[in-house]
Chain A
Amino acid sequence: MTATVETSAPPGTVTSATGTAPAAVRLSGVGKTFAGGAPVLDGIDLTVAPGEFVCLLGASGCGKSTLLNLVADLDAPSSGTVEVPSGRAALMFQESALFPWLTAGENIDLALRLRGLSRRRDRQAETERLLDLVRLRGAYDKRPHQLSGGMRQRVALARALAQDTPVLLMDEPFAALDAITRDVLHEELIRLWEATGLAVLFVTHNVREAVRLGQRVVLLSSRPGRVAQQWEVDIPQPRRIEDKAVADLSVEITDHLRKEISRHGR
């Protein structure tokens, strides 16, 4: 499981994963340039092992969201290859992006239906199970606007789980939430991750959040986005964002992040 994880080596010595190890997501030499612009991503080598929780960290302009779009097959790389052996990856955004014309339950039901679950009874039962899993039993008939931001993200999480993919991509999913709700959702996410064995690729600009959640934190440089450094996070779950170990590693990573950012000021 940890075969693909680089140790916290000194800067510039990042080695890519061996090609034979099993992977939930594998990016090899991925570059992305939008028409007429400077490259957004350049030479990204990144492997997420099955069941692994990887946090992707970087300042603005590091192409984090572009990278997720590539993995989610919403966009194609300009160079290199993106492999998702399972074929599909579920995706969550900062906004819940629940469809406002459907109830919470119907949003989940639609994902099940598009996944190919054709029998209504099966879908009904599965929707109930998923709502239960994110502890929103009884929210089936609620419209998205009737739910709080944290509840909407939990429904969105349930919808992502409904896709039944072994890979979950998360694009700053908790960035718009208040600190208390975010803290609770961190715990909820780790609980669900441990229960489901999903591989998670979690994009954030919040260093503490990355260390609180990830087994591995990958720091991207900006313009173009490259893998600058990686850290393995040995702190056992359950962690808390207030833990000293979390704080210490966060300081170390933040220093690197600052160095990356200040390169652009010169």
Chain B
Amino acid sequence: MAADTTDTAAGAATGGDTLAHIEAGLDALETSTEPESGRLRQVAASVLPPIVVLALIVAVWQLLYAAKIWPDWKLPGPSEVFSSLKDTFSGGDAWGAVGHSIGHGAVGFGASVALGTPLGILVGRYKAVRSGLGPILSGLQSLPSVAWVPPALMFFGPTPAMLYTVVLLGAVPSIAVGVMSGLDQVPPIYLRVGHNIGARGLASVRHVLLPAALPGYLAGLRQGWAFAWRSLLASEIIVQSASLGHSLGFLLKNSQDANDMSGAFAAIVLILAVGVAVNQLLFAPLERRVLKARGLA
């Protein structure tokens, strides 16, 4: 029967044209017509709440300061910290310190990504590697990376190599675990479809596995950056040397040595600001874009 009608596509119950119209109608009805909210509105919705919360924190801080529960040198007021911040910037220390730390952070994080990604793929893909390395990676993740500072210092001396070692030990496990969980969460049906349409071996990894694991990977990167930044600051605060230069950690430690509480707060504000900025300017938009394209956000 099929052979007779193979060449003539016509002859559907409602006729080809009518069917096309019904389909077009269904498509139109079932496609969402929800308007996208304005860009300005979106920005306002994401920027306003944190500003309000920040203002509240400063207000409470000012109240505590005005109540004079603690002396000035224990709890400086917001205005003192602000002027201390201004001094650091006008003295030229701030930009140098921020630049120094971000530079170290970027190199350390980059190296962590380069190492953590293939490691995560190995652990995620091969059962034997996973049962061997999985628990060690999880253990490393829970170990405070500051613990690595003393041995790294003894091994490398107060050099950048010591900084990077601590950063790598902090960030690589986190990124590898991120990759691993990203791979775990790939719906098996994608792999079956991929296999069916001809994605085998490396092609399957490239066309199916990696893109499917991307959201989990990005979450892992974000967490990896947080670990890298923390590890870096821990080493910078503990270890100072000429070859490490004037970093944010140095700024903070210096304030402690000078018993300058507003200087210490100013340094912490800077460290926080860098962490928030990297997250909000780099990772958050990237993640949002990826999730939105997949209809997940």
Contact = CB atoms under 8 A, between A and B. Distances in A.
Interface of A: 1-2, 51-53, 72, 74, 88, 90-91, 93, 95, 97, 99-102, 110-111, 114-115, 135-136, 143-151, 159, 162-163, 180-181, 184, 187-188, 190-191, 193-197, 215, 236-240
Contact of A74 (B19, B30, B196, B293): B196
Nearest to A53: B2
A136 B31 CA distance: 13
Given A181-B26, A191-B19, 9 more contacts: A74-B196, A90-B196, A97-B189, A100-B295, A187-B13, A191-B16, A193-B2, A215-B1, A237-B11
A147 B295 CA distance: 11
Interface residues of B, number: 42
A91 B1 CA distance: 23
Nearest to B193: A97
A100 B31 contact: no
Interface in B204-253: 207-208, 211-212, 214
B207 A144 contact: no
Contacts of B14: 187, 238
11 contacts: A52-B2, A99-B211, A99-B212, A100-B294, A101-B214, A101-B293, A135-B20, A148-B26, A151-B31, A194-B6, A239-B13
A91 B196 contact: yes
Contacts of A146: 31-32, 295
Contact of A97 (B27, B190, B295): B190
Output the residue of B13, B20, B30 with the most chain A CB within 10 A.
B13
Given A135-B20, A194-B2, A194-B6, A101 B197 contact: no
B273 to A, nearest CB: 33
Contacts of B195: 74
Interface of B: 1-3, 5-6, 8-9, 11-14, 16, 19-20, 22-24, 26-27, 30-32, 189-190, 192-193, 195-199, 203, 207-208, 211-212, 214, 290, 293-296
B212 A238 contact: no
B221 to A, nearest CB: 17
A215 B2 contact: yes
B208 A99 contact: yes
B6 A197 contact: yes
Nearest to B13: A238
Contact of B22 (A72, A143, A184): A184
A76 to B, nearest CB: 13
A114 B1 CA distance: 33
A199 to B, nearest CB: 8
Contacts of A237: 1, 5, 11
Output the residue of B26, B32, B211 with the most chain A CB within 10 A.
B26
Majority secondary structure, B binding face: helix
Contacts of B193: 91, 93, 97, 99
Contacts of B198: 88, 111, 114-115, 163
Nearest to B16: A191
Contact of B13 (A91, A115, A163, A240): A240
A237 B9 CA distance: 12
A110 B208 CA distance: 10
A147 B19 contact: no
Contacts of A95: 189
Output the residue of A2, A101, A102, A215 with the most chain B CB within 10 A.
A101
A101 B16 CA distance: 33
A148 B214 CA distance: 24
A144 B295 contact: yes
A99 B13 contact: no
Contacts of A99: 190, 193, 208, 211-212
A214 to B, nearest CB: 11
B191 to A, nearest CB: 10
Pick the 6 closest A-B CB pairs, nearest first: A145-B295, A148-B30, A114-B198, A238-B13, A195-B9, A51-B2
B31 A51 contact: no
B76 to A, nearest CB: 50
Nearest to B198: A114
A216 to B, nearest CB: 10
Contacts of A2: 1
A111 B197 contact: yes
Given A151-B30, A184-B23, A194 B212 contact: no
Nearest to A215: B1
